[in-house]
Structure 1
Amino acid sequence: MEKKRTWQRLLGLLFIFVLSYWGINNLAAIKEAFDAIIGVVRPFLLGAALAFVLNIPLNFFEKHMTKWLGGYRNWFRVAGILFGFSIIVGIISFIIFLVVPDLQETLGAFIAQVPSEINLLYSKINQYIADNPEIVETFNQLNLDVERLRTQAFDMIQTFSSGVLDTTFSVVGNLVSGVFNGFVAIIFGTSILFKKETLVRQLKKIIYGTLNLKWANYIVNVGSEANQTFSQYVSGQVTEAGILLTLVFIGMNIFQFPFALSVSVLTGSMALVPIYGAVMGGFVGFLLIAVVNFQQAIWFIVFIVIVQQFEGNIIYPRVVGGSVGLPGIWVLFSVTVGGAFFGIAGMLLSVPVFALCYKLASATINYNLEEAGLAISTDSKNLRSKKSK
């Protein structure tokens, strides 16, 4: 029996080695196949993501309405889904009717200020050249082919024009595809919410019907932990971003900083990205304000640092706190690695994913130590299992 298990392990290792070798030598084909599959299932993935997000306000609505009315009603599900969609529509309306006009005014003021700043820079460059005539002499000694430079510039303009045309067609195509995917995602996500209990029950039946009890229980527990971790992270981050947006908006109006609404919305939105989002939001706000008033931009940096320290040390621990159960050093690690490999999406999702892996690894290690009868402390060394005595 033991010999049979040894051969099974060797064959398993050989299969993994061959599969890994083939994968390394066919990365392009694997990526192409993966992109094709994602392209087909993208609207359904978007629908599942929409259902997950809407499930948070839906659970909130059903829980409090059940408590308020003393029992569950059949119409709670429809009302809860409409409640979730109303939140999304409210956010979109806020962006369209308040943020976009203010952002348009902000960018208009920014663009209007740029020519004067360019003229000032041009004047300084001319003054510097006038004060240093040797620069002109050096330039004249280069023997530049002006006609060749003109031809290259004309070719660059032609390339740019054709690129703009191609980009326009691409944008139109992506817009049509996005509308279709969005429509399918809304239908699919809504269907999931209406039948979520049935879908969960069917998924559990598949798991328990195909795996042994030990592994089935483990997978179900992992799924439950993943749902809890992601739900707490999403709700906590959105709440924390809303509080930061409000604090920045109130503070900027008190100290009379320009572009209060645009900068506060940008700062709050970027705060959805842990750690780096707040820095990016402050930097963008500094650039916008610096064009109008550089001194105010310096004071804005001081203001935003104080607000972020207050929010990060007082509000964040109480609103989000240890909801994902991940120490700060691992948050920094996960965001950095996720951003390096998957960009903004990686930065957004890396924390709950890493938090789930951290919880599972911690639970497994603690279980093994408990089974072995070991208690680890800083001074522990050369321990012996209690079971071996």
Structure 2
Amino acid sequence: MKLTNKLPRWLSIGFIYPVLFLNGWLFVLAFEYFKSPITIFITANLLAFVLDYPVNFLKRCGMRRNFAILLVFLITFLLLTVLAIIIVPILIKQLTDLAEYLPSWIESGRQQLTHLSEWAIAWKLPINISGLATQIADRLSQQLQTLVGEVVHWVVGTVGSVLNVVLTLVLTFYLVLHSEKVWDGIFQWIPSSYSNRLREALRQNFHNYFVGQATIASLMGILMTVAFLILQVPFGLLFGLGVGIMALVPFGCALSIAIVSFLTGLKSIWLGVRVLIVATIIEQVIENGFAPRLLGGFTGLNPVWVLFSLIVGAHLAGLLGLVVAVPLASCFKSLVSILLEKRNGTADMRMENGEF
């Protein structure tokens, strides 16, 4: 009998937790050291995963796979070029303009709060928020300008990383060509009793998440942008696409709507209210009409663990971590379920053999 079976349960657990903590700490250190190549590899895999759908569609239409891959990459390259030439400069300009206009918007919000306080005093209502409004406005002025400045710096830095972009595209091309061989080589290190089910869980979770979430995010971004432009919201393109991008992340849509409504409310409180009402209606229609059919609660995760996975993913890998956190957490849950089933099955067999 093994030594661990002779130890008390509390002592065995006491040995396990330090080992898990040490391994987790070493994993974080290794991830930070190799963050750039890991990010490129994960991004390339995600792009290859998405591009594989139109490739398979063209293949089913009778086109050879190599020609289908070349055609999909050509169309994707043309679309990215058009976006880089037309839309990206507009978004960067709107970001920089937003950073310039924020102080005046915050001052407008302070004046609106002051007028509200004066109106309350005139009607002898127990509301006095003039002092609080000044403190909030000063703090928001610093935080929002810092946040927008960091976003602009991140966008410019990302666009400027030409080498990383080229490496990602080249790796994506080879992954689309040889993805099966690559993943066969990775999963051969995992025992066959686990690898097949784990591979299927990984594929299914990412398929459901990205197909459903990307569809929802695209609908959200297009409809929000159109609505904001109709409402004549300043920086409507930036805000609309921002809501669409945030919709890729669970709870991101509601958070982005609140931020956009708050920012527009600083300029005009009635404009902020209209933005909040219209955006909430669009969000509810999409969430209740399309999301259940596209997502359908596929993750099986408690909302608490969804939030925890998002926090960990953002801390480790930033925006990319937010995107892959939920499907990876769902895959981890599937792995735990597989291990527990294997353990319970082994325990049942030992009981049948009279070992207990």
Shift of 1:216: 0.4
2:285 to 310, 329, 338: 310
**1:64 maps to 2:62:** no
Shift of 1:22: 6.1
Determine helix, strand or coil for the equivalent of 1:326.
Answer: coil
Contact 1:248 1:307 in 2 (8 A): yes
**1:52 maps to 2:45:** yes
Structure number with greater Rg is 1
Shift of 1:314: 0.3
**1:42 maps to 2:16:** no
One-letter amino acid of the structure 2 residue matched with residue 279 of structure 1: A
**1:96 maps to 2:88:** yes
2:180 to 197, 206, 220: 197
Determine helix, strand or coil for the equivalent of 1:228.
Answer: helix
Q: How many residues end up aligned between the 2 structures?
A: 310
Determine helix, strand or coil for the equivalent of 1:289.
Answer: helix
Give distance in 2, aligned partners of 1:188 and 1:40: 20
**1:271 maps to 2:239:** no
Contact 2:52 2:176 in 1 (8 A): no
Match of 1:251 in 2: 227
Match of 1:76 in 2: 68
Task: Extract unaligned runs of 5+ from structure 2.
Answer: 118-149, 347-356
Per-residue Cα deviation, 1:320-357 (whole angstroms, up to 9, x for no partner): 232x6235xx3522222224444465654342133334
Q: Relative to structure 1, is the Cα distance of residues 348 and 256 closer, same or farther in structure 2, using a 3 angstrom cutoff?
A: same
**1:337 maps to 2:308:** yes
Give distance in 1, aligned partners of 2:244 and 2:310: 19
One-letter amino acid of the structure 2 residue matched with residue 326 of structure 1: T
Q: Relative to structure 1, is the Cα distance of residues 89 and 43 closer, same or farther in structure 2, using a 3 angstrom cutoff?
A: farther
Per-residue Cα deviation, 1:213-263 (whole angstroms, up to 9, x for no partner): xx4042122123202311331232122111011111222333444432222
Task: Extract unaligned runs of 5+ from structure 1.
Answer: 126-166, 372-389
Q: Relative to structure 1, is the Cα distance of residues 362 and 92 closer, same or farther in structure 2, using a 3 angstrom cutoff?
A: farther
Per-residue Cα deviation, 1:12-44 (whole angstroms, up to 9, x for no partner): x989855644675x69xx74x545532443333
Alignment of 1:152-231 (within 5 A): 181-203=164-186, 206-207=188-189, 215-231=191-207
Contact 1:44 1:184 in 2 (8 A): no
Give distance in 2, aligned partners of 1:88 and 1:178: 15
1:262 to 238, 244, 263: 238
Give distance in 1, aligned partners of 2:27 and 2:343: 37
TM-score computed with the length of structure 1 as normaliser? 0.63
One-letter amino acid of the structure 1 residue matched with residue 36 of structure 2: P
One-letter amino acid of the structure 1 residue matched with residue 295 of structure 2: G
User: Cα RMSD between the aligned structures?
Assistant: 4.5
Give distance in 2, aligned partners of 1:104 and 1:7: 64
1:325 to 294, 298, 301: 298
Contact 1:229 1:352 in 2 (8 A): yes
One-letter amino acid of the structure 2 residue matched with residue 291 of structure 1: L
Per-residue Cα deviation, 1:254-299 (whole angstroms, up to 9, x for no partner): 3444432222112112112212x12221122112211321112112
Match of 1:162 in 2: none
Contact 1:99 1:265 in 2 (8 A): no
Match of 1:294 in 2: 269
